[in-house]
Amino acid sequence: MKTNRLMISAVAGLAAIGSAFAADSSAKADARTEVNFSHPEKFADVRDAYMGSDKGRDGILDQLRDYIDLRAKRYVPEGQKLVVNVTDIDLAGDYEPWRGPSMTDVRVVKDIYPPKIDLDFKLVDSTGKVVKEGKRQLRDLAFMMKLSINRDDNLRFEKGLIDDWLQDDFKRAKSG
């Protein structure tokens, strides 16, 4: 009797995992955005510390990819897809090693270190026809003057660049 219950629980668990995987796969296939990073190891500054690491860089890039995915849904209508290829990033601020060993892993944000993102993009319809495309160099030299709702977000300045770009280049989608 116990064996049957365990077997039923195991089968139910596997079915739940399978349906979750299928839902995740269909969500990805249905995605309205695709974000690629072209040679991120050559980006100007995507470091999580003075010396930085691949894992730290990839974590930052994942956060930016997720943010573009989230925000682009407001601007990309169903049936269209926005393909973004990021070619360079220079995060706001910098690590100033001359401040001493206790400060080498503290990103100092000043107006002389503005955020920069270079990208190219294509907006395509369901047939693959290009609706809009372009190359952008996102800059905000007055980034320190803007009010930010989430001052605890380390990428708030870069996310601001992304928001400004989407608002400037795309009309808000009616659904989504």
- For the chain, the domains span 1-30, 32-169
pLDDT at 97: 78
CA-to-CA dists, residue 54 to 35, 47, 49, 147, angstroms: 18, 8, 11, 31
Among 73, 71, 74, 83, residue whose Cα is nearest residue 27 = 73
Q: Is the pLDDT of residue 135 over 60?
A: yes
pLDDT tens per residue across span 55-112: 999 999 999 999 999 999 999 999 999 999 999 999 999 988 777 666 667 889 999 9
pLDDT tens per residue across span 10-49: 444 434 444 444 444 434 545 899 999 999 999 999 999 8
pLDDT at 175: 53
pTM more than 0.85: no
Report the half-sphere exposure of 88 (CA within 13 A, side-chain side).
Answer: 11
Residues in the chain, overall count: 176
C-alpha 49/C-alpha 82 separation (Å) is 31
Q: Which two tokens stand for residue 93?
A: 């601020």
Compute the average pLDDT of residues 123-134: 95
Tracing tokens 């573009």 back to the chain, one arrives at 68
Kindly indicate the confidence band of residue 6, based on its pLDDT and cuts at 50, 70 and 90. Answer: very low
174 vs 79, residue with greater confidence: 79
pLDDT at 176: 47
